[in-house]
């Protein structure tokens, strides 16, 4: 564009004249956040500020220019930093400052004639010039894909977006502090695995050239974390990225963040209580209430759409508990037991139920896949408030311990909110013989074409033979949790840099249209 070309030439001429366009530093004595704090704590008003020490005290602050307007020889400049904005009253015309520039300002705290908190300045310098036409706050950044690709603009122009990421940080910090308070040790485990395990998912593969060895990016840290329990660490957790080479949609991204913890001498009942305690306290501490409102079908920028529907999510304990096979049997009018699911007769029963109810299940139509589809249709979809779906059939849970009083059922639960799985937990299987049998069953499913089935991990089987203590384990999807707690409509809204297709050369050349009157 002409405006950008002229800016380039202007800056080139200043550089040729020996001016430093990009200073090495700027000593900011009082960031915008601190200015606001000082004014509030000292109760400074337009009426009393002239009598305070701040009337003559020189401070320095900095930020990005969002808007400029001039009246006579006075310029009113709005700058932003860290989600907060401040008016600068500059006692001269701004001929060298443009919207989007990062500026450093020296001046005194004061108020405008209209009573707006401002910094009164006669000394301002550009610290980093913006070389493009910067969008205005008024027009914002409305195009969804542009918001994801240019997150650096989105964070400045859309306050809802920045607020979501601030909330994400608070959520992760709360989880870490909560587990630390319960004597869990935070650990780090490998992100590259020889055998992908700990979950039913398709991995990304890579090659280690030095050892001529195929590796997979981890789909779960579970097996390594349980190995640490065998090594004598009683409570461990890890917050980190997992990678699954699967579909991308509103709730799935190929790389995502989870927290998993494992505790010795506990079972799924203990873990369930910790889950309720953690989430209920988290929501109360961060949002100041245990009942939050989620806007279904809202706009991507956080505003309400015409079809928006408000859903109240109540995190008051205890959360609802639903027995999977018991409730599914009621819904379908057919008794489904853990025993029958271990037979071909059970697989055919589920296959018939899916066909009769028009529930789609792609090949291979294994018992576990068919059952998963039925549970999704009849149980998961009804879980708006936090709900534990409990006691999964053994065929769906290769790493969970068999129920102490129900054959072919496991001590497992999944927490669902708004119809989506948020966390998964169980009493850990610690019988090495049973573990091997279940791995072998998974291997058969893999041979039948289920590329998400787990492989036999001999190293883990050997470790279990040394003795895994009775334990409870738990994993939560942090991205989905953040979505639900912040009202995000898409997982991309809670990831700084979501996975995107590369832009075409033509798309890169195209610029966002900016009205003529908004270009200065």
- Looking at the fold, whether 128 and 170 belong to one and the same domain comes out as no
- Looking at the fold, whether 35 and 109 belong to one and the same domain comes out as yes
| Measured CA distances, 448 to 396, 441, 455, 458 (Å) | 16, 11, 13, 21
In a domain, 207, yes or no: yes
Distance CA 201, CA 196 (A): 9
Q: Give the per-residue pLDDT at 514.
A: 46
243: CATH: 3.30.930.10
- Report the domain count for the chain: 2
Q: Is the bond preceding residue 75 a cis peptide, omega within 30 degrees?
A: no
- Looking at the fold, whether 179 and 57 belong to one and the same domain comes out as no
Q: For residue 148, give the H/E element and its range.
A: helix 144-149
In a domain, 174, yes or no: yes
Q: What is the mean pLDDT of the chain?
A: 92
pLDDT band at 300 (very low <50, low <70, confident <90, very high): low
In a domain, 326, yes or no: no
> Mean pLDDT, to the nearest integer, of 103-118?
97
Domain limit, last residue, from 82, 102, 133: 133
- Looking at the fold, whether 406 and 279 belong to one and the same domain comes out as yes
Q: Give the per-residue pLDDT at 515.
A: 44
- Looking at the fold, whether 5 and 127 belong to one and the same domain comes out as yes
Q: Give the per-residue pLDDT at 89.
A: 97
Is residue 478 within 8 Å of residue 261, measured between CB atoms?
no
- Looking at the fold, whether 183 and 62 belong to one and the same domain comes out as no
In a domain, 514, yes or no: no
Domain around 193: 154-318+384-491
- Looking at the fold, whether 399 and 483 belong to one and the same domain comes out as yes
- Looking at the fold, whether 35 and 119 belong to one and the same domain comes out as yes
- Looking at the fold, whether 449 and 306 belong to one and the same domain comes out as yes
- Looking at the fold, whether 14 and 99 belong to one and the same domain comes out as yes
110: CATH: 2.40.50.140
- Looking at the fold, whether 232 and 95 belong to one and the same domain comes out as no
Domain limit, last residue, from 102, 133, 164: 133
- Looking at the fold, whether 405 and 291 belong to one and the same domain comes out as yes
Task: Dump pLDDT digits (tens) for 323-355.
Answer: 999 999 999 999 999 999 999 999 999 999 999
In a domain, 324, yes or no: no
pTM for the complete prediction?
0.89
In a domain, 178, yes or no: yes
SS3 helix, strand, coil % of the chain, rounded to 5? 35, 25, 40
In a domain, 360, yes or no: no
């Amino acid at each position: 564009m002409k405006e950008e070309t002229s800016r380039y030439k202007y800056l080139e001429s200043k550089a040729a004249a020996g001016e430093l366009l990009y200073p090495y530093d700027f000593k900011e004595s009082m960031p915008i956040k601190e200015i606001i704090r000082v004014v509030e704590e000292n109760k400074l008003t337009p009426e009393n500020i002239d009598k305070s020490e701040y009337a003559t005290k020189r401070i320095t602050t900095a930020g990005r220019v969002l808007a400029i307007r001039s009246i006579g020889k006075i310029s009113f400049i709005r700058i932003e930093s860290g989600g907060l904005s401040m008016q600068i009253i500059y006692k001269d015309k701004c001929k060298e400052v443009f919207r989007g520039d990062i500026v450093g300002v020296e001046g005194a705290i004061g108020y405008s004639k209209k009573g707006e908190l401002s910094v009164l300045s006669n000394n301002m310098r550009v610290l980093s010039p913006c070389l493009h036409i910067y969008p205005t706050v008024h027009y914002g950044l409305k195009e969804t894909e542009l918001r994801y690709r240019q997150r650096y603009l989105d964070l400045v122009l859309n306050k809802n977006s920045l607020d979501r990421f601030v909330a994400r940080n608070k959520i992760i910090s709360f989880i870490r502090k909560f587990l630390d308070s319960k004597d869990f040790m935070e650990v780090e485990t490998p992100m590259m695995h020889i055998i992908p395990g700990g979950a039913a998912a398709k991995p990304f593969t890579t090659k280690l050239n030095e050892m001529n060895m195929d590796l997979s990016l981890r789909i779960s840290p579970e097996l390594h974390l349980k190995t640490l329990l065998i090594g004598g660490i009683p409570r461990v957790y890890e917050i980190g990225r997992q990678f699954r080479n699967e579909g991308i949609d509103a709730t799935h991204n190929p790389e995502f963040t989870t927290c998993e913890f494992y505790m010795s001498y506990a079972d799924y009942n203990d873990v369930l209580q910790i889950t309720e305690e953690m989430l209920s306290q988290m929501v109360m501490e961060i949002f100041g209430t245990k009942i939050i409102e989620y806007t279904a079908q809202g706009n991507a920028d956080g505003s309400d759409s015409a079809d928006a529907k408000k859903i109240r999510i109540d995190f008051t304990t205890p959360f609802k508990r639903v027995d999977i096979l018991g409730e599914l049997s009621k819904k379908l009018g057919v008794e489904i037991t853990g025993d029958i699911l271990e037979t071909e007769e059970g697989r055919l029963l589920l296959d018939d139920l899916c066909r009769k109810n028009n529930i789609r299940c792609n090949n291979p139509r294994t018992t576990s896949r068919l059952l998963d589809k039925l549970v999704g249709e009849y149980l998961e979809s009804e879980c708006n408030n936090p709900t534990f779906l409990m006691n999964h059939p053994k065929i769906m849970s290769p790493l969970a311990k068999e129920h102490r009083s129900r054959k072919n059922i496991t001590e497992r639960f999944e927490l669902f909110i708004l119809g989506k799985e948020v966390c998964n937990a169980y009493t850990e299987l610690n019988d090495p013989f049973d573990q091997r049998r279940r791995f072998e069953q998974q291997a058969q499913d893999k041979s039948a074409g289920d590329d998400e089935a787990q492989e036999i991990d001999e190293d883990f089987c050997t470790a279990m033979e040394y003795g895994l203590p009775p334990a409870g384990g738990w994993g939560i999807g942090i991205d989905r949790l953040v979505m639900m707690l912040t009202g995000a409509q898409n997982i991309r809204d809670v990831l700084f840099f979501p996975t995107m297709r590369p832009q075409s050369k033509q798309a890169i050349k195209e610029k966002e249209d900016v009205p003529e009157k908004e270009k200065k």
